[in-house]
Structure 1
Amino acid sequence: MGRLEYRPAGTYRLEWVYRNRHREPVQVWLALSPDLPTQKVLGLHLTPEPHERTVSPDGLGEMAWYRLAPGEAVRLDATIQTFSVRYSPRGRGPVVPLEPQERELYLRSTGMVTITPEIREEARRLTEGCGTDLEKVHRLAVHMFHHYGYCHPPRARGATAMGRDRRGDCGQFSALFAAWCRFLGIPTRVHLGTWAVGRFQGHAWTECYIEGLGWLPVDISVATVHSKLRRLLRLRHLPSYAFGHLEGQRITFSLKYDRELVPPYPETNPPLADLTMEMGEQPVAFGYQLLHRRAPYLQPAYVRLPEQVESLSRPLTVTDLLGDWRGRHEPWHLRALHAAQVFLFAMAGLAVLATLVPMTDRWLEQRGLKPPDLWMDAAFLAANGIAWFLSRGRSWLPGFLAVFFLFMVLEDLRGR
């Protein structure tokens, strides 16, 4: 079966702000990040204090509620330690058992994670012949990686839309994958959160509960973002970072779609048609309506906007719906330690490359082969540099190869 290995990855400061830019009050329901095996909330401060702060009715952590006057703002400051996760097929580790109410919650068919007859049939067909839940989850992950594409923003949201369109963003991948697994009796939860560093870097991914193992992370959307480059390089296997692995650079706001709100949300028809999109097989006006009496998702907030068009600040932006946030390394001595680690790793890599490049040229010459010329090395340098940039630095291989070919280019220039 194997085990999941958790290791401290970093400490981050998260700052989230919502400001009411409208001419009437706005209500805000805010999910507060929970403690998880992948994160520990070291400190959390809200300014001002919420009008209500309650434990979520579905047992998924705390929730804060505000009624903001025009021009008023709410701010959240949190310090969160994150942990990386790596699945190892060897040995066994401690496993926290799943409570019956948790199992029922994460097997449920909901508005966004809808288990339709088509989804049932596809999940059953794809996992035919699999012996264990771990094999089923891996089979589904490989299929999704090969047959579903990344697209942002999607035309519609929810598992049904993803199954129909076969294209979507991270939230779409997570919803359909959760629906497949839940139908097969594998408890699956969707993390709605953000990358730990950067401004407004929202992300979603899944965890599947495997008996004897625990919560196994699966994030197919990250792999499909790079799928065109991988096809060009004829790399068709599922990347290891997409299955059973988290790098420890993400923060979870909420653990599922379809959240019940407290106090109750006052639904109404929207004053603008462009706020409506398909969510879970029906039109929903974000900021005015719920999906089956629940907020479609909290990332980290769901708002109730003014009913009158003349009261709305135009144009409406995504920050009017979700707020704005920024993440960074915290505190300063940990940022300095991280920078020192990166510097030492880079120096060690440069030392290896400084030895490897001349050795590569000599090895080729000894076998009567011509070393690559300047233009070929420059092309490989550019290709790997672009690949590393598109991965936002999360994939080390193209970064390493980019530095390698940089040395090759310098060696070519020196030999001219």
Structure 2
Amino acid sequence: MRKKPFIVDYLYKNSLDQTIELWLPIPDGLAHASLKPSQLHRLPTGENLGYFILHKNDTLHFQYTREWYTSEGETIPLSKEEEEYYLRDTILSPVNKETLDLARDITIGINSKREQAKAIFRYIVTNYKYKYPPKSRGVKSFLRFKNGDCAEFSFLFSSLCRSLGIPTRTLFGSWSFGKMNGHAWNEIYLEDEGWIAVDVSMANLRKHNILRFLYSDLRTMWWGKYFGKTEGQRVVFSRDSEIELMPAYGDSKGRSIAIEPLQINDRDFYWGQESLKGAAPYLQPAYVKIDTQNLLPSTSIDVENLLGTWKVKETGWRGFLAQSKKYLAVIALTTMGINYIYSNDYLEFLFKFSFVALFTCFVLRRERAFLFSIFLVIMTLSLLSTISELL
């Protein structure tokens, strides 16, 4: 396995008739950057927050490589300030009487911080449903509707763990394949282990919707294993929600109908026009400020204007196998369909051989390896039978 098997490519082009302000955590090991930040600030999370001013048609382009994600090895003791930061009360992940009472109910009779966090993990996985997009963001809404996406699962886990004094952070990033393939999960800090990964939403999907990732490029695990580890196929953009923006974010005085609001705790929130008490709800990977008072009436604001675009690509032999899967699936299904209409021994050989190669790619990439190993054996035997008939 290569040490750095992922290439991350981020692009933001200012296509509006105005100057845009943009905040973005600066990744380590940049291979390419088209612009330098106007200001750079050190965050409590340990990351450097870049502040950019983009004039009309300016383009910000980052490219860098990343290793497989792991939280292992980060056992440096937290300072008092860091501990307080990862126990703080926020809008999206509140720490209050309601969350404390719920956390205590979930962990009755459990004294170990690790086992308390694990009990909370199992409770959320069992009692909430995955839904994208959610009706409203934030723990208050999640507790009410009992459904949400990866961010809501992560916000609630942070909220309940923090209520019991367990330092917790919500990570925002992307899966290591595809375009704009965002994801959120958690890390908790345990004194004897350091930061460990917890992915509540993936555990929920694996427990309740086991076929969801059948043809995915993702190496999935048994749902219970998502407490303490992950499959590694993910990239981190920022290491918590509600990170204070520096220089200070000045909320727009008006609100533009060109940007449809999202709901945060049942309240309209205008992304790119306001902040959460000076903080971005989350950096995935950037947050912008658009002067809505100077927008032309015909201006249309899309996701690229609010977030930019990113794509992550696997490299090396794993990347080659991922690409091969796509072509092999097309060849296998096409030739199988043609053979169904016009039965032909050579077409039968081709589609079976394509399926054997396709299932081999899954096994080599360790994606549902047990299941696809069974498919591989069955199809290989069928292929050998076809070959014997051709000879």
Pick from 37, 62, 83 the counterpart of residue 50 of structure 1: 37
Report if aligned partners of 1:271, 1:309 keep a CA contact under 8 Å in 2. Answer: no
The alignment covers a number of residue pairs equal to: 346
Name 1:361's counterpart in structure 2: none
Report if aligned partners of 1:306, 1:312 keep a CA contact under 8 Å in 2. Answer: no
CA deviation map 1:278-336 (0-9, x unaligned): 22564321110111221111111101113147437754221111110111235xxxx14
Q: C-alpha displacement at 1:338, in angstroms? A: 6.9
Name 1:323's counterpart in structure 2: 308
Name 2:291's counterpart in structure 1: 306
What secondary structure, in the 3-state scheme, does the structure 2 residue paired with 1:78 have?
Answer: strand
Cα distance 1:340–1:297, how it changes in 2: closer, same or farther (>3 A)? closer
What secondary structure, in the 3-state scheme, does the structure 2 residue paired with 1:21 have?
Answer: coil
Pick from 59, 63, 70 the counterpart of residue 73 of structure 1: 59
Name 2:230's counterpart in structure 1: 246
The answer to whether 1:27 aligns with 2:13 is no
Cα distance 1:13–1:137, how it changes in 2: closer, same or farther (>3 A)? same
Q: C-alpha displacement at 1:27, in angstroms? A: 1.1
What secondary structure, in the 3-state scheme, does the structure 2 residue paired with 1:226 have?
Answer: helix
Tell me the distance in 1 between the aligned counterparts of 2:384 and 2:269.
60
The answer to whether 1:188 aligns with 2:175 is no
Q: C-alpha displacement at 1:401, in angstroms? A: 3.8
Tell me the distance in 1 between the aligned counterparts of 2:321 and 2:284.
33
Report if aligned partners of 1:43, 1:80 keep a CA contact under 8 Å in 2. Answer: no
What secondary structure, in the 3-state scheme, does the structure 2 residue paired with 1:225 have?
Answer: helix
Q: Letter of the aligned partner of 1:204 in structure 2? A: A
Tell me the distance in 2 between the aligned counterparts of 1:130 and 1:11.
40
The answer to whether 1:212 aligns with 2:206 is no
Name 1:138's counterpart in structure 2: 118
Report if aligned partners of 1:9, 1:84 keep a CA contact under 8 Å in 2. Answer: no
User: RMSD in angstroms over aligned alpha carbons?
Assistant: 3.4
Pick from 99, 105, 108 the counterpart of residue 119 of structure 1: 99
Cα distance 1:61–1:116, how it changes in 2: closer, same or farther (>3 A)? same
Q: How does 1:142-181 map to 2 (within 5 A)?
A: 142-181=122-161
Mind listing any 5+ residue stretches in structure 2 that lack a counterpart?
213-220, 325-354
CA deviation map 1:177-220 (0-9, x unaligned): 00000001110011111112221111111011112111121102
Report if aligned partners of 1:142, 1:238 keep a CA contact under 8 Å in 2. Answer: no
Q: Letter of the aligned partner of 1:27 in structure 2? A: E
What secondary structure, in the 3-state scheme, does the structure 2 residue paired with 1:319 have?
Answer: helix
- Structure with the bigger RCO (C-alpha within 8 Å, sep 6+) is 1
Name 1:275's counterpart in structure 2: 260
Name 1:82's counterpart in structure 2: 68
Q: Which moved more, 1:298-307 or 1:309-318?
A: 309-318
Q: C-alpha displacement at 1:153, in angstroms? A: 1.0
What secondary structure, in the 3-state scheme, does the structure 1 residue paired with 2:33 have?
Answer: strand
| Higher strand proportion (structure 1 or 2) | 1
What secondary structure, in the 3-state scheme, does the structure 1 residue paired with 2:279 have?
Answer: coil
TM-score by length of 1: 0.73
Report if aligned partners of 1:9, 1:83 keep a CA contact under 8 Å in 2. Answer: no
Name 1:17's counterpart in structure 2: 11
Q: How does 1:280-299 map to 2 (within 5 A)?
A: 280=265, 282-299=267-284
Tell me the distance in 2 between the aligned counterparts of 1:102 and 1:8.
33
Tell me the distance in 1 between the aligned counterparts of 2:173 and 2:152.
14
Tell me the distance in 2 between the aligned counterparts of 1:166 and 1:63.
34
Q: C-alpha displacement at 1:171, in angstroms? A: 0.8
What secondary structure, in the 3-state scheme, does the structure 2 residue paired with 1:66 have?
Answer: strand
Report if aligned partners of 2:117, 2:161 keep a CA contact under 8 Å in 1. Answer: yes
Q: State, as a whole percentage, how many aligned pairs show the same letter.
A: 27
The answer to whether 1:399 aligns with 2:377 is no
Report if aligned partners of 2:154, 2:170 keep a CA contact under 8 Å in 1. Answer: yes
Q: C-alpha displacement at 1:82, in angstroms? A: 2.8
Report if aligned partners of 2:170, 2:240 keep a CA contact under 8 Å in 1. Answer: yes
TM-score by length of 2: 0.78
